[in-house]
Amino acid sequence: MIDVRITEKDHRTVSLVITGHADSAEWGKDLVCAAASSISIGLCNAMYEICGTENISAEDNRVMIIVDRPDDITEAVMRTGIIQLKTLRESSPDFIKIKKTEVKS
């Protein structure tokens, strides 16, 4: 199961952590995992290239993005990736779960 954890503060995304493996098919043929990986790495690249976010890691079956200074641009980029992950969950609900947490200011 792919596990997506979104943390928001003041209605802005401040972190996104994606872990796990879909296990929807045998290794090398798992399209759900391939889609999640593509979305995740694309989001990391966009956050780095467009927003200058440097607190990004993608290793050991874990992708993590920490947004130190959330603004309208970081929020638009992060929301785009989150919408893509939600769309993937809609088509493959047995293989991906998404949880959002709001932290207080």
Q: Which domain holds residue 92?
A: 2-103
1-11 per-position pLDDT tens digit: 999 999 999 99
What is the pLDDT at residue 32?
95
What is the domain-level CATH number for residue 71?
3.30.70.1490
Question: Nearest CA to 44 among 59, 56, 60?
Answer: 56
pLDDT in the model for residue 45: 97
Structure confidence at residue 55 (pLDDT) = 96
The alpha carbon dihedral of 27, 28, 31, 37 has a sign of positive
pLDDT in tens, 35-75: 999 999 999 999 999 999 999 999 988 999 999 999 999 99
Query: Could you tell me which residues come within 8 angstroms of residue 20 by beta carbon, excluding any fewer than 6 positions away?
Result: 1, 2, 3, 61
Strands (E), the chain: 2-9, 12-20, 56-59, 62-66, 96-103
Q: Whole-model pTM?
A: 0.94
| Percentage, residues of the chain above pLDDT 70 | 100
| pLDDT the model gives residue 28 | 86
Sheet holding 12-20, edge to edge: 56-59, 62-66, 12-20, 2-9, 96-103
DSSP letter, residue 26: S
Q: Any idea which residue has 């993590």 for tokens?
A: 64
Domain count, the chain: 1
pLDDT at position 67 is 97
Q: Are 7 and 14 in contact (CB under 8 A)?
A: yes
More confident residue, 105 or 54: 54
Mean pLDDT to the nearest integer, 94-100 = 97
If you compute the radius of gyration of the chain from its CA atoms, what whole number of angstroms results?
13
